[in-house]
Chains A and B, each alone.
Chain A
Amino acid sequence: MSIRGPRKGENYELSVDLNSEYRDKRKDAIKRVIASMTVGKDVSGLFPDVLKNMQTEDLEQKKLVYLYLMNYAKTQPELVILAVNTFVKDTEDPNPLVRALAIRTMGCLRAEKIIDYLCDPLQRCLKDDNPYVRKTAALCVAKLYDLKPELVIDNGFLEQLHEMVSDSNPMVVANTVAALTDIHNTAIAAQISPSSSDPAIFNITSTILNKLLIALNECSEWGRVAILNALSRYVAQDEKESEHISERVVPQFQHINGSVVLAAMKVVMIHIRGVRREELVKQLIRKMAPPLVTLLSSPPEVQWVALRNINLLLQKRSDLLSNEMRVFFCKYNDPLYVKIEKLDIMVRLASDNNVDALLSELKEYASEVDVDFVRKSIKAIGQTAVKIDAAAERCVNVLLELIDTRVSYVVQEAVVVMKDIFRKYPSTYEGVIPTLCANLEELDEPEAKASLIWIIGEYADKIDNADELLGIFVDTYIEESYQVQLQTLTAVVKLFLKKPDSSQGIVQRVLNTATKDCDSPDVRDRAYIYWRLLSTDPAAAKAVVLAHRPPISIPRTTVSPALLEELLGEISNLASVYHKPPETFIGQGRVSADSVQRKGSDTSDDRFSAQKALQTVVAGQQAENLLDFDDNMTVEGQPSGLAATQVLPSTPAAANLLSGTSTNPLDDLVSIFGGASVSNGMSGNAFGTNGLGGLSSPTTLAPSSGFNNLVASSPAPPQQQQQEDLLGLF
């Protein structure tokens, strides 16, 4: 029994009122108890007093007492037993509302003691005449399974649920499907290796399929979502069935509830894989566009979920919304998270036909107040330039206009973007360089500085006062950030290789400072390599530092093909909203090496799975994942022994590279040997000591192949190629 509090105070008064002889007073007291509970006061001591008021004809009072029980049953398991009788009696009440309420609440009590008493009433309610009671009972089975799976299996509730899939009432069917799916998921989560013989596994047969397709058209909106979710798990037997399912689901695109629309899209995206008739595929895809556009008229949070999914759909079907770019134009009052998603999609949809409209829109955004949005808009201009050759010049002109505004962050971002354009179109827009250099004083962000320095180094032979400009940075070398130091170093070496006569002094100065006064091993190492290269074999130095760089391009997908397929099967779920596989954010927040490996073995292509694992790591951005990934890499039998240990520390760098510490994928592809500079600078020492350190001495060439392998498995081919070239030189 609970300990009684002192004979005064709020709880004491409540206890007196709860035992009052007047009904109204008692009911009022219960309300006050619930009010205290709502604001977080502990009223569990009143349990016995509240319990006395359970047996009542007043439905509202009953609901309140039930609510109280749900909250405190866990802390007072001994006392809950006293409530059992009333509960069981209520499940036989003539009013279906009371029956359903009783069975619903009993399932929520979650006290061991009461569960054994739940089975009989549940058995009865599952067969109730009233569909409202049946639909409530169906979900109660899932609640019971969550608590004590044995009870569900022993009592044959699962068989009963399977029968209820054929219930005459569509709402009951929907809740039954939801319950079976819930049990299915719980069972899978609990087991290490789920076997299909487990009765809790919900296999959707073709008989069930037909029942679901019929119920789909009749039940409520949420029921439709449950049924569509089940349909997405069905494995079609043949092409005809895939076509059939797709055609039956398409009318749901017209539903007013956006989650029904998205769930229907998911089913179609899954079953369209089995459809080979070109014109049907085209027709299905065509029908998806208008409902997707309509989702953009929903509240911002819904829009955001839709936009994240549209982004994925476009990665798979770039033609999906090709004529609809304008609907993604940002509204002035859109929340920032919506605007940023829209920007990304706009660049995806950019083509020769609409690029003018896009550019004038982006220019408009670049004059808004929100710094983050302005920067992303300028980035988008750069991406457009890289994506559409014919529009590059127009993009450059817009950027020049923006630089003209002399707003600091606009100028800096524009400089960063210009560097990408130079990478894509070398020697095309040299006329811009003087304008950029004129703004040198304004730059205070490392990335912008590094970008400008890279440009100066790259075109050192065409800039008369290149040595002067670089000299400014050499003078302040020690105060600069590593990123800028690395870039300055490389640029000065480039300058020296291009104009050896006039820049002997500056190169000597920078090498001296970098090797003697710098505290970053990254910078020192690189300086030593250059020094050695220059002093032993200038021709080799030229081949390395001034090597031809493969042009950059905008990746069509942001996730690997395998992951994209997986995420398309998750449309409308959190996985497809985050663009991450579910393992990275559910469970204990860490991916076990086992599960990653199991996943890997599903895909025949090893590199494929490695790529996916890498994506997982990137997506997760959690330390635990990184460790698991390493396990996985070794298991996959790529490098072993020493090489394997080399892989370990370099992983964060690779992850950084992929995740794009900045959101612009281009940044990471910037200048190469020197190169890896930008991303290296960010990733810290690990990469430098193991990656470049390995390179500097021929004896460690073998282990560094581990590093090379790793890069090979990442979707960054230009870098990989360059690294290979580099190795070849030694």
Chain B
Amino acid sequence: MASLIAILDLKGKPLIQRSYKDDVSPTCIERFLPLILEIEEEGQQVTPCFSSQGINYMHIRHSNLYLLALSKRNTNAAEIIIFLHRLTQVLVEYFKELEEESIRDNFVIIYELMDEMMDFGYPQTTESKILQEYITQESHKLEIQVRPPMAVTNAVSWRTEGIRYRKNEVFLDVIESVNLLVNANGNVVRSEILGAVKMKCYLSGMPELRLGLNDKVMFESTGRTSRGKAIEMEDVKFHQCVRLSRFENDRTISFIPPDGEFELMSYRLSTTVKPLIWVEAAVESHKGSRVEYMVKCKAQFKRRSTANNVEIYVPVPDDADSPKFRASTGSVQYAPDKSAFVWKIKQLGGGREYLMRAHFGLPSVKNEQDVEKRAPISVKFEIPYFTVSGIQVRYLKIVEKSGYQALPWVRYITQNGDDYSLRTALEKGSAPIVPM
């Protein structure tokens, strides 16, 4: 429950605000930034929630904005923080980008959205697809007045009735993001696969869908033996359209899908993954004048797969200058804003191995006290037609009372997660380079 929600710029000035309850005065917003500065000055951490003089401040950051919620009660913090993220998401979907400029240009519609998404401090409808049906940027003409879509209060709150398509199609994208951390000895310290099944649904009427996966738990509970590999998902999360109690009972994934694009489910596996793309760097620094890097990268997956748009970020000292690169494939750029250089390889075939060298100058004056910041090497990539976990869509059954035939299309892709990092940039000779 929130008494007031505001969007502030980085100076703490409110750009737009909406009060939902009278118990918190809007003047408290002005105290927000001074409080943050005070906490920082005391050498403490500014946490997403804190309280001062009986007011609880809950906030998130989005690019150059603070989204702030205030409350006097022992509020559900998880609910409010997630609501603020959802508000951000909705505004981004409305205006493409959420920043000072877009808020100033669209304040009317933001007020409307804030009015609709929360009432008396309680979150209401936050599905942007549904909101877009009755809160639009064009003003409404007198004759055709919008009505609240059935979906707002329907038991099936995510789909409107009476949708028609000439061709009924469903596209399934299975996307697996790999997060992993390799330590200086070349061992995988932590790895996880975050999977998501995204759907694009162009189906008429109110179709009932059932999705079958090679889910180990389901095979075991039904006593069926699978042909091929079954996977064990550790935690599965579903879009609100999926009947949770049914999944709990017999692992059936059954649902009436929203129209258009949405994420049906996400899952997590924490099995150890071999690094799909291995990178290591030997660093040779010459007493404060220059530094040299030799970077080796290897695609450690089957030859028939190819990784696309590979980007390897190797960190360098903040003050490195005059870069020189030589690579056996791809192109290299210096990204001073990231304190790194980027080695881009458009296509990296399975089993291939490449080398590159980099040379930087360093300012000769150096503060001895400075601790060298050691960011890990990070990698971005995409491998189509391939999943690390081996997940497979066995079937997607579509039943609608009009009895039409619909075709499901499935695509698989594996990519880097938000944390694919290797601490393998080592001072030459200081540590073992792992044999490949």
Binding site for B on A (CB under 8 A): 27, 31, 34-35, 38, 40, 57-60, 63-64, 67, 95-98, 100, 104, 107-108, 110, 130-132, 135-136, 139, 142-143, 146, 169-172, 175, 178, 182, 185, 217-222, 225-226, 229, 250-252, 254-259, 262-263, 290-291, 293-294, 297, 299-302, 304-306, 309, 324, 326-327, 329, 331-333, 336-337, 340, 357, 360-361, 364, 367-369, 372, 407, 570, 572-575, 577-578, 582, 585-589
Known: A364-B183, A586-B73. A297 touches B124 (CB 8 A): no
Q: A332, B421: Cβ atoms under 8 Å?
A: yes
Q: Indicate if B194 sits at the interface (CB-CB under 8 A).
A: yes
- By a CB distance below 8 angstroms, the chain A residues around B194 are 297
Q: A340, B45: Cβ atoms under 8 Å?
A: yes
**Nearest B residue (CB) for A328:** B190
Could you jot down 14 A-B contacts, CB within 8 Å? Answer: A38-B107, A139-B120, A146-B21, A219-B157, A222-B123, A225-B123, A226-B122, A251-B245, A251-B247, A255-B237, A256-B266, A291-B235, A326-B190, A340-B45
Q: A369, B76: Cβ atoms under 8 Å?
A: no
Q: B82, A139: Cβ atoms under 8 Å?
A: no
- By a CB distance below 8 angstroms, the chain B residues around A59 are 140, 145-146
Query: Which of B86-102 touch A at CB < 8 Å?
Result: none
**Nearest B residue (CB) for A60:** B139
Q: B237, A572: Cβ atoms under 8 Å?
A: no
Instruction: Name which of B49-57, B201-209, B297-305, B353-361 contacts chain A.
Output: B49-57
Q: How does the 8 Å CB contact mask read for B14-37 relative to A, with 1 for contact and 0 for none? A: 111000111000000000000000
Give Cα A577–Cα B76 distance, bound, in whole angstroms: 9
Q: Indicate if B79 sits at the interface (CB-CB under 8 A).
A: yes
- By a CB distance below 8 angstroms, the chain B residues around A262 are 78
Query: Which of B377-412 touch A at CB < 8 Å?
Result: none
Please tell me which one of the listed residues B22, B51, B83, B423 contacts residue A574 in the complex, with CB atoms under 8 A apart: B51
Q: Indicate if B365 sits at the interface (CB-CB under 8 A).
A: no
Known: A34-B107, A96-B148. A222 touches B124 (CB 8 A): yes
Which of A34, A104, A143, A585: most chain B CB closer than 10 A?
A585
Q: A327, B192: Cβ atoms under 8 Å?
A: yes
Please tell me which one of the listed residues B107, B147, B268 contacts residue A297 in the complex, with CB atoms under 8 A apart: B268
The size class of the interface chain B forms with chain A is 35 or more
B115 to chain A, nearest CB (A): 7
- By a CB distance below 8 angstroms, the chain B residues around A40 are 14
- By a CB distance below 8 angstroms, the chain B residues around A585 are 51, 54, 56, 74
Query: Which of B214-243 touch A at CB < 8 Å?
Result: 234-240, 243
Q: Indicate if B288 sits at the interface (CB-CB under 8 A).
A: no
Q: A301, B48: Cβ atoms under 8 Å?
A: yes
Known: A574-B49, A585-B56. A369 touches B73 (CB 8 A): no
- By a CB distance below 8 angstroms, the chain B residues around A252 are 244
Which of B1, B134, B235: most chain A CB closer than 10 A?
B235
B93 to chain A, nearest CB (A): 16
- By a CB distance below 8 angstroms, the chain B residues around A143 are 120
- By a CB distance below 8 angstroms, the chain B residues around A219 are 157
Which of A219, A220, A572: most chain B CB closer than 10 A?
A220
Known: A31-B108, A64-B108. A574 touches B56 (CB 8 A): yes
Q: A575, B74: Cβ atoms under 8 Å?
A: yes
Q: B54, A588: Cβ atoms under 8 Å?
A: yes
Task: Give me the 8 closest cross-chain CB pairs, A-B, nearest first.
Answer: A290-B235, A131-B153, A582-B74, A301-B48, A251-B244, A222-B123, A259-B79, A251-B248
Known: A95-B145, A132-B148, A367-B374. A257 touches B82 (CB 8 A): yes
Known: A332-B419, A586-B54. A132 touches B189 (CB 8 A): no
